[in-house]
Amino acid sequence: MNKIVVVPSIREQSYNRWISEWREILTKNNVKVILVEDNPKRTFIPNYKNIEHYSWEEIDRELGEKKWIIPRRTAAIRSFGFYKAFQTNPDYVVTLDDDCYTTPQSEYYFQTHEKYLFGGLHKKHWIQHSQGLRVRGVPEYLKPQYNVLNMGLWANVPDLDGETQKINPNYRIVEQSFNFIVPAGLYAPISSMNLAVRTEVIPAFYFLLMGPSYPFDRFDDIWAGIFLIKIAHHLGYSVSGGEPFIWHDRASNADVNIKKEGSGKKVNEFLWKDINKIKLTKTSYKACYKELASKLPRYDEYWNKQSIAMKTWLSLFE
């Protein structure tokens, strides 16, 4: 299947390790990489043939007056990579952080994502509580559930908030083989460190305004995930998570993360409840995302601007 990997990075050393570990797997699977370097100009040496390399300079030139919707000095800059990936219409798009490396099972990394996005293993109304063959009692003739996002998890260091990370500095996870479906009407925290999405959902999957220029950071993927889950469930589609695992070496600092997450943690306690109350009426990803942006809670001026940013993001796909 045709796939693209989006990697945001500001750390050349991390990127160099990332590409050295993933190169053989990427080459074997004929995968194009979109590297979004979070610097004013390109400074990295990509060291991979099938790659598109962007920086602020390319973002500004291509988006013009709309460039403001791609925040800087934050992982949310990966939105530009998703936008560029969408233009070539792959079957799906994967995103990985530059501190996410390979494990013994990574030889089948892309095949595992494809199994959950396209394999028809998820059955509507029924949960398969073991992987592989159909277990006793599951009806034989069930229509496959259409899955739009599969989030892989992490061996070694989990994706923790700063406070939990500081209290549990030595907590580690081993690689596992399992998958879960987010039940309709419920939510799950979506991490952008290791996930795959069907290309058609990208207009409804925008990483929010974050970083030094805004009051929030490190909630771009969490809140983008809430919005996408809300829309997917409204349209009758599923979201899943579990394997494939990657090896995560924490590159960020717990104290820095605590500071970055402070304001967002307060809003995160009630944003999902207000999103859950919104009644969606449209029948496509684009229309639902526009409706959600229009009905977005307006707690303060940031959320007014966020609504405009979401609608501007949509305009890129017209």
Q: What pLDDT was estimated at residue 130?
A: 67
Q: Given a cut of 60, is residue 122 above it in pLDDT?
A: no
282 against 131, higher pLDDT: 282
- 170 domain-assigned: yes
Domain count, the chain: 1
| Identity of residue 282 | K
Q: Mean pLDDT throughout 248-257?
A: 88
Q: End-to-end distance of the chain based on CA atoms, in angstroms? A: 25
- 24 domain-assigned: yes
The Cα–Cα gap between 206 and 159 comes to 20
Q: What pLDDT was estimated at residue 249?
A: 92
- 317 domain-assigned: no
- 155 domain-assigned: yes
Q: Mean pLDDT throughout 100-107?
A: 96
Q: What pLDDT was estimated at residue 251?
A: 63
| Domain housing 221 | 3-275
- pLDDT classification of 245: cutoffs 50, 70, 90: very high
Q: Given a cut of 80, is residue 145 above it in pLDDT?
A: no
- 215 domain-assigned: yes
- 13 domain-assigned: yes
Q: CB under 8 Å to 304, separation ≥6 — which residues?
A: 298
Q: Given a cut of 60, is residue 48 above it in pLDDT?
A: yes
The Cα–Cα gap between 210 and 73 comes to 9
Ramachandran angles phi, psi of 51, nearest 5°: -145, 145
- 315 domain-assigned: no
Q: Given a cut of 60, is residue 213 above it in pLDDT?
A: yes
CATH code at 157?
3.90.550.10
Q: What pLDDT was estimated at residue 250?
A: 78
Q: What pLDDT was estimated at residue 318?
A: 93
The 10s digit of each residue's pLDDT in 191-204 is: 999 999 999 999 99
Q: Given a cut of 60, is residue 147 above it in pLDDT?
A: yes
- 305 domain-assigned: no
Q: Given a cut of 90, is residue 62 above it in pLDDT?
A: yes
Q: What pLDDT was estimated at residue 96?
A: 98
* CB 295 within 8 Å of CB 278: yes
- Averaged confidence pLDDT in the chain: 94
